[in-house]
Structure formats: C-alpha cells, structure tokens
Amino acid sequence: MTTIAAHAGKDATDWRAAVRQAAEALVAAGAASADYPEACVRMVTEHGPYIVLGPGLALVHARPEDGGNKVGVAAVTLTTPVAFGHPDNDPVDLLIAFCTPDSDAHIAALSTVAKALASGLAERLRAATNDDELTTTLREALPSV
Amino acid sequence: MGLDRPLEVLTVCGVGMGSSLMLKMTAEQALQALGVDARVECTDVSTARGKQPDVVIGQDMHTSELPDLAPVTVTISDFLDAAGLETALREKFTAQGWLP
C-alpha cells in the first residue's frame, strides 16, 4: 500500500523550499529518510527543471538509494507559485513527490497517478482547501496501489 | 518503412524513473488513439544514447541532446497532454509514411 501525505496551502520562498516541503511530507510519513529532501533539490540542480512536467506541476523525487524506504506519494499545494526556471511550465503551484525503495516498486503507484492526472487530478488537488481534503483526493486517486 | 512491426518508442528524462514514466503513460494513450502498435520504454538520456528506437519523446532540454537517435523525435513540454502528443505524432508518422 502506498504511503500518502498531503499539505494544502503551504508557503514557499522559492523552488528549493517547495521541493523540500513536498519531500519532507514523505519523511514525516515514514516513507523516506531524512536525507531525501536535499537529494530531491540536488536532482533539480544537477539535471535541470525538467521535473516540471506540466503547467504548474512539478514531480519531485530522487533515486531509491537517496533514502526511499517505502513507496510514498505526497502532494503539496502552494499559496504563492514559485518559478523553477522551466521555459514553458512555470510557475509551479502543485508539487507531487514520490519515493521508492527500488527502481520498480513505484511504477504501479506512479502510473496510477499519471492516469488520474490525465483525468483532472491536478485540478482536484488544487481545489482542496485543507490537508484532509487534499489527502482524501490523493487517496481516491490511488485506491488499490 | 511501413508499420510491419511494433514501433520502439523511448520516453526520456533526466533520471528515467519519474517524469519519463508519466510521459510513457501519456504516450501509450496517444499511440493507442492513433491505432499504432508500439512498445514504449522510459529511460534517462545517457541510457537512451545506447538504444536504437524509432521514436524519441521528451522535453527540449533532453531531446536536444539526442538529435540523431531516432527517425522521429517529438519535443513536448506538457507530459500530460495526450491529445497534443497525438497530434504531433500523427504529423510526424504521416511524414514518415507510417500512417496514411
């Protein structure tokens, strides 16, 4: 079962703070170790802002060996969007973070998230006004994985 | 070349396990809508260099590093836009003679 965490309406000063908040939710939920958030920031500084994979949406993650203990998915919405330096998809107000213990364990959960995003999940997550609503919306998108 | 075998499609990103997996789902949806038989694999840019796909799909920052890898390269910025990807693939596949 995928570990779920969500925080609605967070304040982040810049993309680094936003990435850390999304990844910290996975740490707090027990799915990732304490080093994971900084590894997620490094992923962007090393590989560029490609994790911004759609308008306003960033997919935060690092590698399994960076501290993924269980399969976890977290969603964070921002009150004020932040720029990642992406040529087309900035600014970002929704971050989905995931972690995985190996290079395959997350595939079912992430594929399910991708399908849900294709049918309006991003809008439903953005519409959530508190952590409970956001958690429920994310859980509904991942019913069986 | 006609479509006498499944197309080998690569979706690429920096690490090959997050964004490119999302794009794989979108690509499978677009290819299905086109009625094109294809095998889609997600990978990182370095691993992609060692492969010989028919189609490469990714963001500009990655496809620009793989200019001659495949006969068809599609650059998109929205990895969740299956309809947009379908349009782009249709145009390129038609130009290749893979679609009427």
Domains of chain B: 7-93 (3.40.50.2300)
* pLDDT classification of B64: cutoffs 50, 70, 90: very high
Buried b (16+ CB within 10 A) or exposed e, B26-41: bbbbbbeebebebebb
Please give the mean pLDDT across all residues of chain B: 95
Determine the distance in angstroms separating the CA of B2 from the nearest CA of chain A, rounded to an integer: 30
d(CA A72, CA A4): 6
Q: Say which of A48, A100, A114 has its CB closest to residue B61.
A: A48
Per-residue pLDDT of chain A (145 residues; tens, 9 = 90+): 799 999 999 999 999 999 999 999 999 999 999 999 999 999 999 988 999 999 999 999 999 999 999 999 999 999 999 999 999 999 999 999 999 999 999 999 999 999 999 989 999 999 999 999 999 999 999 987 7
Give the distance between the most distant pair of CA atoms in chain B: 35
Q: Is A86 designated active site?
A: no
Mark yes or no for CB contact A54/B80 under 8 Å: yes
A73-85 residue pLDDT tens: 999 999 999 999 9
Size of interface A-B (CB pairs under 8 A): 69
Tell whether the model's pLDDT for residue B85 goes beyond 80.
yes
3-class SS of residue B14: coil
Among A7, A61, A86, A106, the one annotated catalytic: A61
* pLDDT classification of B71: cutoffs 50, 70, 90: very high
Nearest residue of chain B to residue A105 (CA atoms): B17
CB atoms within 10 A of CB A135: 18
Q: Say which of B26, B62, B81 has its CB closest to residue A50.
A: B62
Distances B44 to A16, B16, B52 between C-alpha atoms, Å: 23, 4, 14
Mean pLDDT, rounded, for B49-71: 96
pLDDT at B3: 75
Nearest residue of chain A to residue B82 (CA atoms): A118
* A46 vs B contacts (CB less than 8 Å): 14
Q: Say which of B18, B60, B77 has its CB closest to residue A59.
A: B18
Mark yes or no for CB contact A51/B19 under 8 Å: yes
Mean pLDDT, rounded, for B62-90: 96
Q: Cβ(A71)–Cβ(A98) under 8 Å?
A: yes
Q: Pairing state of beta strands A92-99 and B38-44?
A: unpaired
pLDDT at A145: 75
3-class SS of residue B52: coil
Interface residue B1 vs chain A (CB under 8 A): no
* B25 vs A contacts (CB less than 8 Å): 111, 114-115, 118
| Beta bridge mates, A89 | none
Mean pLDDT, rounded, for B27-47: 96
* B32 vs A contacts (CB less than 8 Å): none
pLDDT at A143: 82
* pLDDT classification of B4: cutoffs 50, 70, 90: confident
For the record, the structure tokens of A72 come out as: 């976890």
| Beta bridge mates, A60 | A97
Across A28-141, the runs of DSSP E, i.e. the strands, are: 52-54, 57-60, 72-82, 92-99
* A86 vs B contacts (CB less than 8 Å): 77
Domains of chain A: 3-141 (3.40.930.10)
- Reported ipTM: 0.91
Region for A86 from its dihedrals, namely left if φ exceeds 0, alpha if ψ lies in -120 to 50, beta otherwise: beta
* A43 vs B contacts (CB less than 8 Å): 14-15
